[in-house]
Amino acid sequence: MVKINQVSREQKRVLKEYPAAKCTVNDEGHFIIIVDDIVLAEEYYLPPALDKMSAWANAAIACKTAQNFNRTHPERMDLTNIEEKLLRMEKRKKRGSK
């Protein structure tokens, strides 16, 4: 039996990153997830949801996409990070060859 107030996996993911996230209904009757007057799914052109579960799923997709962009964005990586990464790799190679 499913509880009414049960938190879904998508909702947990969004609330972990945005604890103040709230599900509201806009003027057209669509469900949206808002954090500080910002609609999470709108930035990635995800459609407005017709139910709460879809709204949380769209917000989770937006969080996941933002995380992937932040991890792989070229402006985020600078040369010091790359040099540190290469040094760590070389240390591991030297430790493994003993």
| pLDDT computed for residue 46 by the predictor | 85
| pLDDT computed for residue 31 by the predictor | 92
pLDDT tens per residue, the chain (98 residues)? 445 556 688 888 888 988 999 999 989 999 989 998 888 888 888 888 999 898 999 999 988 888 888 777 666 666 667 788 888 889 998 887 76
Task: List the chain domain ranges.
Answer: 9-73
Best CA proximity match to 62, nearest among 31, 25, 18: 18
Distance CA 15, CA 54 (A): 15
Output the six-digit token pair for 51. 């139910």
Rg of the chain on CA atoms, in Å: 20
